[in-house]
Amino acid sequence: MNYTLHQLQVFLKIAQHQSITKASEELHLTQPAVSIQLKKFQDQFSIPLTEVVGRQLFITEFGKEIAEAAEKIINEVYAINYKTLSYKGKLTGRLNISVVSTGKYVIPYFLSGFMDQHRGVDLVMDVTNKSRVVESLENNEVDFAMVSVLPRKLKVNTVELMENKLYFVGSSKLNLKGKASKRQLFEELPLIFREPGSATRNAMEAFLAKIRLPSQKKIELTSNEAVKQAVIAGLGCSIMPLIGIKNELKNNDLQIIPVTGLPISTTWNLIWLKSKALSPAAEAFLEYLEKEKKGIIADVFSWIDEY
């Protein structure tokens, strides 16, 4: 046996997701690179680790046992690194955070100072849609989650970070003659939605239901950046979080279109399970937020008050 730590890490991610595609995304590797590592790892065993049924990848019972062993080995390696640093008097450990996709414009600013102060802490951050964020929290896969809508079925502790406003936006090239009515905006213009499971999608659908104007033309995209680029290009309009369109407003690529009942206002929250036993690194991060949160908002996000 001559497998590497990297191969163990790759196989563990494949086993967790039962998908080479998802493993490659989380590891920031190409799919061919992940497939090559899987093959090299499999070549060292006479018993199959995976099997493909139809087009779906499955982990064999033997593969599941190897994945469990791989996780233990990887955790022991991390423990060695952390113990080395702790002997030097440094805070060590890992922060695992799951963040809804729009939160990527917010959470890095609340993390950067903390990570700079504590070089012995590793950060693992998964940016995905709300459904997956809540799932990872419920399965105790992460220390914290960042959401703008609190999950109803979970008992969580929360720290409020900052306000989240959503506006109706269109391309700056869109010429609205006079004051357009809601019916003109929402029935005549194509509307661009996020995918099901997105908190932004839920907010947009709730608003449309409230004003009782169903969209006649719908475009669905799977990321905030894709929606933003589509709106800039003139494919349609959308309800988008202000936090993600600062530069586009400044560069006059997008315009906020006034609509009665908007903006929708929610709050960015950092949440964790009440039953969660937080690590020293996680506890230290909460202490950091308590001391620095107001200053970070004032320094980085004061521009939001202009809208």
CB 93 within 8 A of CB 121: yes
Q: Where are the beta strands (DSSP E) in 222-296?
A: 238-241, 254-256, 264-273
Structure tokens at 254: 């997008």
pLDDT for 190 equals 87
List residues bridging with 270 in a β-sheet: 146, 159
First CA to last CA distance, the chain: 61
List residues bridging with 95 in a β-sheet: 123
pLDDT for 82 equals 61
**Measured distance CA(88)–CA(66) in Å, rounded:** 34
pLDDT for 60 equals 94
Q: Which helix H or strand E contains 52, and what residues bound it? A: strand 50-53
pLDDT for 145 equals 96
- Among 169, 173, 215, smallest CA distance to 191 is for 215
pLDDT for 74 equals 85
Per-residue pLDDT of the chain (307 residues; tens, 9 = 90+): 788 989 999 999 999 999 999 899 888 889 999 999 999 999 999 999 999 888 889 999 999 999 999 988 887 787 776 666 655 657 778 899 999 989 999 999 999 999 998 888 989 999 988 889 999 999 998 999 999 989 988 999 999 999 999 999 999 988 876 566 677 777 778 899 998 888 888 888 888 888 886 666 688 998 889 999 999 999 999 999 999 999 999 999 999 998 888 999 999 999 999 999 888 889 999 999 999 999 999 999 999 988 8
Domains with residue ranges and CATH for the chain:
5-83 (1.10.10.10), 90-162+267-306 (3.40.190.10), 165-266 (3.40.190.10)
In the Cβ-directed half-sphere of 106, how many Cα atoms lie within 13 Å? 29
pLDDT for 120 equals 83
